[in-house]
Structure 1
């Protein structure tokens, strides 16, 4: 897909978020569970929705002229712990 779309100037990447502090996250987890999740993340907190959104906005913007074919992990370092 990346190679085919690149010939048309279309950039394609994937955003791979970790734990995000949303209403659904808070509704489905107890305060103790949320504390445990946060403690397992090197940055010690859940991402805020706007932090993920800023990455998506950049990827969709005219400022992104060369980033393509990437899976971008945005998880506060959880993957590399």
Structure 2
């Protein structure tokens, strides 16, 4: 009879995967350029900071999948910071 085996790091994968929703939202805010509203600007900065923090935590994790998420989020955070300086300010 097959035995159900629970994977330990599945929860961590989903915990980091929800941040994937922030990436298209950040690109949407950058595409608005000068038409961005003040509260959207604050939300854009929050997205950039959150992705950077989650990226550092992901890169320092001992699980391989977390390092992939961490690298992606850190790279996108740096990209958003650069795009914010170029297009929004």
Same fold at TM > 0.5: no
Specify which structure has the higher proportion of helix.
2
Give the TM-score normalised by structure 2.
Answer: 0.32
Of structures 1 and 2, the one with the larger relative CO (CA 8 A, separation 6+) is 1
- State the TM-score, normalizing by the size of structure 1: 0.34
Larger proportion of strand: 1
